[in-house]
Structure 1
């Protein structure tokens, strides 16, 4: 865990929550499984197609993901629409595995060319506590070249951070930058690293205490993100890349100031099956070794 003094210091309760989602070496490591439709899409062997998977069937898939994968790590990120409270009420989640609750609903709306996420209806920072979690996550799409401290996105981040502070819930602020309509691939690629860093700076100004960010592309860009975060810990998200690629990204980011990783599809996208027996075999034989490799990467034991 970073010893830098962050511009937005953690309370004692938040420090304890951060410890619960970190390795014994103090670096964040969270299995992300809050996906809903995208998780169904990778279950290729469903008898009537992945679109026909019911909520109850998806609950069982998520429960097995917890049992056979996440329970071997510090923390699991789950959604409040399908997975929780089931995994808590049924004793699926291990005593020593922390629960992070995602607040964002699937999809996004576009207003004046900019993307915005929505809350899962009825879910608040208080709900996180009621569901057995001490940590929340909210996703925001950001274009800091178009959005400053007077923007809707800044106000939304600031207000949620304040609500979580009041409730004693540690909030992970996840940021995704994106290509604007009409923006060329070349222009977006050239701007990408700066957008990740500037988005981090904007969130920190809104009061963010933990950040979940895209890999900005290089060691130099990772160092720039660390500088923009001003001591606020940031973790790399996997963005659906393959496992080996993500391991390399994490190793580079950690060597340049990142404080961990939050991985979803890079761990389990080819390890889910409609059949429970095969699912267990894939999760334990394929996904779990990846989680252990990722733990080595976040703790700086893999170059």
Structure 2
């Protein structure tokens, strides 16, 4: 197990429920968030940065503040929600370092940092914890690969800053790989990505649901004591809470939910947005917390 420093333990506590499980509302999406703001008069492409910033502020105000932590981006949401006092004092701030999109090199996908972002900048923005996304194909990348070097470098830099880093891993289908081939490989890709990330020093993982109770147990084994949280990956709420229940029962340490909570609750209209977030998204968050803490079994 990759041991946490005292400061990293404090960060871990800040993003966890009273029951000790991670629970983070993910709201660092940019283009993806525009895409679900269904009432834009001329479509998502017409939504301005100011409108998106307003939506993110309301998402914090009416949903994120009810969670232990919220994940936000440093391009649109920050530093506004901190400077204007929108973010509640008891809600931890996780700052995403990854820029939208990715580069492709020799058939492999690589994310980029938001320009100017460093562990120190996370602190300057008021962040308690950092998050970085990497795309990984462990059947094509090993401990000597570029992605492994990037993970090791950022883990080291964050530790030096006293900042807990959540390492998010997404596996993906290669060009020329059929859907059936990818589906068959998917559980092992998630499992082996967890193993690679931990070998590179990762102390907290954010991973896709690997598909079953058996695969979840194998992820836990591969993580070797490093806590891992399930990401929602755009599935609906009902599907996600079932996945989370299975994963937590087999060793997962919590959940990080984005679109499964709010994808049908965002709007350009502030009035509609508040109504949907409070009557639709917030009850979902409360249900998810109960499942994460083992107080409710998802049916």
Which residue number corresponds to residue 183 of structure 1?
177
Aligned equivalent of 1:121: 115
Structure 2 counterparts to residues 37-48 of structure 1, below 5 A = 37-48=31-42
Q: Which runs of 4+ in 1 moved over 3 A?
A: none
C-alpha RMSD of the superposition: 0.6
Which residue of structure 2 aligns with residue 201 of structure 1? 195
Structure 1 alignment gaps of length 5 or more: 1-6
Q: Which residue of 2 aligns with 1:3?
A: none
1:9 aligns with 2:17: no
Task: Please say which of residues 213-222 and 7-16 is displaced more in the overlay.
Answer: 7-16
Query: Residues of 2 paired with 1:183 and 1:24: CA distance?
Result: 43
Structure 1 residue 52 corresponds to structure 2 residue 46:
yes
Equivalent position of 1:65 in the other structure:
59
- Listed one character per residue, the Cα deviations across residues 36-93 of structure 1 (whole Å, up to 9, x for unaligned) are 0110010010122211111111110000000000101100000000001000000000
Using structure 2 for the length normalisation, give the TM-score. 0.99
Alignment-derived partner of residue 76 in structure 2: 82
Q: Distance in 2 between matches of 1:48 and 1:126?
A: 39
Describe the SS at the equivalent of 2:206.
Answer: strand
Corresponding position: 1:136 with 2:130: yes
Point out where structure 2 has 5 or more consecutive residues left out of the alignment: none
In structure 2, C-alpha distance between the alignment counterparts of 1:231 and 1:179, rounded to whole Å: 28
The whole-number CA distance in structure 2 between the counterparts of 1:300 and 1:151 is: 38
1:229 to 213, 223, 232: 223
Question: 1: distance between equivalents of 2:23 and 2:108?
Answer: 30
Identify the match of residue 152 of structure 1 among 133, 143, 146. Answer: 146
Task: State the Cα distance separating 1:302 from its structure 2 match.
Answer: 2.3
2:252 pairs with 1:255? no
Confirm whether residue 270 of structure 1 aligns to residue 264 of structure 2: yes
Counterpart of 1:239? 233
Q: Are 2:99 and 1:105 equivalent residues in the alignment?
A: yes
d(CA) in 2 for partners of 1:186, 1:285: 39
Q: 1:220 aligns with which of 209, 214, 223?
A: 214
